């Protein structure tokens, strides 16, 4: 995860290994959930989160969560997003 200012300058970064995850969608959803928790803990607003996983973004935008493990994580992401201010997730 990289946090940048609106002019592109890097403010901070964080990495984490997702042990035991072999599905790309599950890894992306898990990383998004962790990023949302981080945004929440740091009380950030007016934040844009960019993912390279179109499937996850599409699922969040349409609130159509598949009955998969990553779908469950994406639903949790949606719940966290609903209580945060001015946070958006794009592809």
**56: which residues sit within 8 A by CB, 6+ positions away?**
25, 28, 29, 32, 70, 74, 77, 89
Q: Which distant-in-sequence residues (6+ apart) come within 8 Å of 85 by Cβ? A: 45, 46
Q: Based on the structure, what is the number of domains in the chain?
A: 1
Between 78 and 18, the higher pLDDT residue? 78
Taking the model in full, what pTM does it have? 0.83
| Residue pLDDT, tens place only, 39-62 | 899 888 888 888 888 999 999 999
Per-residue pLDDT of 10-20, as tens digits, reads 777 777 776 77
Both tokens assigned to 49: 């989160």
Q: What pLDDT band is residue 64 in, cutting at 50, 70 and 90?
A: very high
Residue 21 has pLDDT above 80, yes or no: no
Copy the structure tokens of residue 36. Answer: 């949302």
Nearest to 37 by CA among 83, 6, 72, 69: 83
How far from chain centre, in Å, is Cα 29?
6
**Per-residue pLDDT, 62:** 94
For range 75-87, the mean pLDDT: 92
Q: How confident is the model at residue 89 (pLDDT cuts 50, 70, 90)?
A: confident
What is the domain range of residue 85?
A: 2-89
């Amino acid at each position: 995860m990289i946090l940048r200012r609106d002019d592109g300058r890097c403010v901070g970064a964080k990495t984490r290994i997702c042990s035991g995850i072999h599905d790309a969608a599950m890894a992306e959803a898990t990383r998004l959930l962790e990023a949302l928790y981080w945004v929440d803990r740091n009380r950030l607003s007016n934040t844009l989160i960019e993912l390279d996983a179109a499937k996850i973004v599409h699922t969040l935008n349409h609130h159509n969560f598949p009955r998969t493990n990553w779908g469950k994580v994406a639903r949790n992401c949606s719940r966290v997003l609903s209580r945060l201010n001015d946070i958006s997730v794009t592809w």
